[in-house]
């Protein structure tokens, strides 16, 4: 904190910007009471114990409270807004557009920013409130599954909130496969699962996956959503060309990290790497 304070002070003297510490907040994690007291007295920064706001998200000292501190309050506010708008003279097509432009971005931001598990049951209430808003609390005249379809398939694109949540989580799975230097959080999550690698482990059949070496909820949740999507949409064949050689019981050399590093250096990481033009690569 002392080095950070000096750095910000120096930057402020050159740029004209200044961090007002008395209007900032700090949330100590794994710090002794003496360290917290010293920081508060040295820098006059308010100390919060349970949560602080960052870019509209409540960050909690207890990770298990992330869901309750963020999702339910937003859902309650959205329900209140929809109830207030129900009697407004808006066409039902206009109401769908209102949901897409005003309601969906508020939830999608949380889906993308928070590594928490959300179920269909969690979103069932707000989805029903959206239906009631679209039809002004009258009987539905078009089946929900038709409303959910994109316009190119004869629907109206009414957001299916749970599908949007799953898509936001799968975007994180895609990011696992990016080069290590592209995203710092990918490097962090890979380190948490070492020597396993999340972008490889998820392509193994579930019975063959090594036991998770981390309690990180974000990793476990991404794996859960990926398995659901694979099952529902048949995303992967068995075996898949993406099936890794590393930590794969069906490929014994991959169970030994030094052996696998020799293969990896030669560009052999997955089943698909063994074939070139439909033929096996040679030594």
pTM assigned to the model = 0.83
What average pLDDT does the chain have?
88
Q: Which of 94-98, 159-163, 196-200 has the lowest mean pLDDT?
A: 196-200
pLDDT tens string 178-233: 877 788 888 888 888 888 888 888 898 888 887 766 678 888 888 889 998 888 88
CA distances from 143 to 101, 162, 208, 233 (A): 22, 17, 41, 22
Give the pLDDT confidence score for residue 213 in this predicted structure.
67
134, 96 contact by CB (below 8 A) = yes
Q: Is the dihedral of CA 31, 33, 37, 40 positive or negative?
A: positive
Backbone angles phi, psi at 64, to 5 degrees: -70, -10
Question: Among candidates 76, 146, 137, which has minimal Cα distance to 107?
Answer: 76
């Amino acid at each position: 904190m002392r080095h950070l304070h000096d750095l910000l002070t120096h930057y402020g003297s050159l740029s004209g910007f200044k961090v007002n510490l008395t209007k900032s907040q700090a949330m100590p994690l794994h710090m002794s009471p003496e360290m917290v007291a010293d920081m508060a007295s040295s820098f006059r920064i308010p100390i919060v114990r349970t949560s602080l706001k960052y870019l509209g998200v409540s960050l909690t000292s207890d990770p298990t409270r992330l869901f309750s501190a963020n999702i339910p309050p937003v859902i309650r506010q959205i329900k209140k807004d929809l109830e207030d708008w129900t009697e407004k003279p808006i066409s039902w097509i206009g109401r769908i557009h209102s949901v897409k432009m005003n309601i969906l971005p508020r939830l999608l931001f949380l889906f993308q920013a928070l590594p928490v598990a959300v179920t269909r049951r969690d979103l069932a209430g707000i989805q029903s409130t959206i239906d009631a808003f679209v039809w002004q609390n009258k009987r539905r005249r078009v089946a929900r599954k038709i409303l959910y379809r994109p316009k190119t398939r004869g629907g109206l694109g009414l957001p299916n909130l749970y599908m949007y949540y799953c898509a936001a989580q799968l975007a994180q799975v895609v990011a696992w496969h990016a080069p290590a230097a592209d995203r710092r959080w990918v490097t962090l999550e890979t380190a948490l699962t070492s020597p396993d690698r999340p972008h490889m482990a998820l392509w193994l059949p579930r019975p063959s996956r090594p036991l998770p070496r981390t309690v990180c909820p974000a990793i476990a949740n991404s794996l859960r959503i990926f398995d659901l999507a694979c099952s529902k949409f048949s995303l992967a064949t068995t075996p898949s060309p993406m099936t890794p050689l590393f930590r794969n019981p069906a490929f014994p050399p991959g169970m030994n990290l030094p052996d696998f590093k020799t293969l990896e250096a030669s560009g052999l990481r997955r089943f698909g790497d063994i074939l070139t033009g439909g033929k096996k690569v040679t030594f």
